[in-house]
Amino acid sequence: MRKKLLEQVLKKITPGKQERKKQGALAEKVMDRIRKTGGKHVDVMLCGSNARDTHLKGDNDLDIFVLFPEKLSRQEFEEAGLRIGKQVFRGHKWEKAFSEHPYIRGEIEGFEVEIVPSYKVSSAELKQSAVDRSPFHNEYLKKRLLGKRKGEARLLRQFLKGIKCYGADTKANSIPGYVVELLILEYGSFMNAIKAIAEWKQGEVIDIEKYWGEEEARRLFPDAGLVVIDPVDRNRNVAAALSFNQFSRMVAASRAFLKKPSEAFFFGKKEKPWPVPKLRAMLQKKELIAVRLGFPKKALADVVWGQIQRLARKAEKQMLLNGFNVIRSEAWTDEKDAIVLVFQVESRQLQKSVAKQGPFVTDGKNSQAFLKAHPRVIAGPRIEQGRWVIEIPRKYTHVEGFLREFLKKEKRADTGSLKKALNKTCSILEEKNIAEMYKKNREFAEFLTTYLKGEEEFLAY
């Protein structure tokens, strides 16, 4: 049954001859145009899964690297890369994007094309920019990921997409395509990889070239849930983007798949939104508060996701410091119009006073400083377990009031692409407002239903 399932999935996700032919023709057309463009570049090459024939059906991303001499100054390198990118996209939709350095990306004939400048160095360890490793990644895998292993890589890539553990961008915090292919090299097949992932422990080490011992690798990357040593750069963990939550999700999903395999692991399933009365009933059982922002115009989604996550973490930290215990929080955006930060708190309203514990009475110096520092005392000082205790008024007793003040401060402090959203389209959503947005926005309704259910999709298979 499992073999038949994998054969069916592989058939669905493998590009056909016509699709491959079209992709190859466009890639060659773009590269030929770059070769004929005057400049200091010395080579051009297609990188990524399309170059290695491990991409998925419908994956219309072309990553084209323009290589420059390593002696070229950084300023000349960036200027030349942008100039060539703009010439390639003349007459097409494009935008300037940023990785470690700026590059041009856009759309040509239905394909998402990136023109990325890179230094041509003799070794990935001698890189001058982060992307200089990519051509070495490409050559390493093209020599080793052959025959049936290409299909095995496709299966693992689709599985990780299906369980929402694929992608190195800020939103995903997951596994990039390069690591998917390294896992197939390590384990040999999709099923072997799944069996291995199901047994992973925190700090798992994969070192195909055996550069380091396991303990050495863990010492090099002490905070990583998964360490995958880059075969072309021994000092880099190519799985560094993977969060511990996503690492754990991979383990749990692999265990569930081995127990009860299903196509749903590969293609996911959309959560059908609850009827509005059921939503309202659930909102009455939970203490939910949300912040809505507009999505910044002309901003790159990955950059905005990073800012959203920082804002959410900062808000949660400040809520905790002000007595609002956050049970769960999550961010959502349609990457077009709206951003929503959702917080589930223990209580939206707190007592008007809070007990504050001070130093031991026997610590005379600090006792005096503590009592002087709190002139507005509702009750106390008194002694409990040998320490001074006072009761002082809370600054915020309602979470809504706290969030309004917090966002006002952020409006003044933020200088990124969220500044406009914070200034013009920021609002607090209480239960009534959450229900209204739920009725109007299907994507948000799907997200909120999943959030309120509070269960991982694969556990219900």
Higher local confidence (pLDDT), 95 or 276: 276
What is the average pLDDT across 263-279? 88
CA angle 322, 415, 335 (to 5 degrees): 85
Class of domain 15-129: alpha beta
The pLDDT of residue 423: 65
Residue 109 DSSP SS3: coil
The answer to which of 92-96, 152-156, 295-299 has the lowest mean pLDDT is: 295-299
What does the alpha-carbon distance between residue 333 and residue 271 come to, in Å, rounded to a whole number?
16
Band of the pLDDT at 408, cuts 50, 70, 90? confident
The pLDDT of residue 337: 85
Q: Which of 328, 321, 325, 333 is nearest to 406 (CA)?
A: 321
Determine if the peptide bond prior to 375 is cis (ω within 30°).
Answer: no
Residue 250's alpha-carbon distances to 166, 173, 174, in angstroms, are 10, 12, 9
CATH number corresponding to 276-349+397-460: 3.30.70.590
Could you tell me if 406 and 315 are in contact, meaning their C-beta atoms sit under 8 angstroms apart? Answer: yes
Q: Is 15-129's fold the same as 276-349+397-460's?
A: no
Measured N-to-C along each axis, helices 177-187 and 190-197 cross at an angle, to the nearest 10 degrees, of 100
pTM of the model: 0.78
DSSP count for the chain of H helices, then E strands: 18, 15
Q: What is the 3-state secondary structure (H, E, C) of 243-277?
A: CHHHHHHHHHHHHHHHHCCCCHHHHCCCCCCCCHH
pLDDT at 333 over 60: yes
Domain boundaries, the chain: 15-129, 145-267, 276-349+397-460, 353-393
pLDDT at 99 over 80: no
pLDDT at 206 over 70: yes
What is the average pLDDT across 300-314? 81
The answer to which of 68-72, 266-270, 318-322, 355-359 has the lowest mean pLDDT is: 266-270
pLDDT at 461 over 60: no
What does the alpha-carbon distance between residue 192 and residue 446 come to, in Å, rounded to a whole number?
34
Question: Which of the residue ranges 113-117, 170-174, 296-300 has the most confident prediction, judged by mean pLDDT?
Answer: 113-117
What tokens were used for 363? 């610590």
pLDDT at 256 over 80: yes
Query: For residue 178, which amino acid is it?
Result: Y
Q: Which residue is associated with the tokens 């005057």?
A: 38
Q: Tens of pLDDT along 282-301?
A: 999 999 999 998 888 766 67
Higher local confidence (pLDDT), 400 or 298: 400
Band of the pLDDT at 394, cuts 50, 70, 90? confident
What does the alpha-carbon distance between residue 33 and residue 259 come to, in Å, rounded to a whole number?
51
Class of domain 145-267: mainly alpha
What does the alpha-carbon distance between residue 444 and residue 335 come to, in Å, rounded to a whole number?
12
CA 20 to chain centre: 29
Could you tell me if 104 and 95 are in contact, meaning their C-beta atoms sit under 8 angstroms apart? Answer: yes
Q: Tens of pLDDT along 15-42?
A: 999 999 999 999 999 999 999 998 999 9
What tokens were used for 361? 């009475």
Q: Which residue is associated with the tokens 């032919």?
A: 21
Q: Tens of pLDDT along 40-57?
A: 999 999 999 999 999 999
- H helices present in 203-243, as ranges: 214-220
What is the average pLDDT across 137-143? 95
Eight-state DSSP code of residue 126: G
Q: Exposure string (b/e) for 422-434, b if CB count within 10 Å is 16 or more?
A: beeebeebebeeb
The pLDDT of residue 170: 62
Query: For residue 363, which amino acid is it?
Result: D
What tokens were used for 226? 């998964």
What is the average pLDDT across 345-349? 92
The pLDDT of residue 215: 93
pLDDT at 114 over 90: yes
Topology annotation, domain 353-393: Alpha-Beta Plaits (3.30.70)
What does the alpha-carbon distance between residue 307 and residue 303 come to, in Å, rounded to a whole number?
7
Band of the pLDDT at 172, cuts 50, 70, 90? low
pLDDT at 460 over 60: no
The answer to which of 164-178, 258-272, 312-326 has the lowest mean pLDDT is: 164-178
294 Cβ contact partners less than 8 Å away, ≥ 6 residues apart: 337, 338, 339, 420, 421, 424, 425
320 Cβ contact partners less than 8 Å away, ≥ 6 residues apart: 326
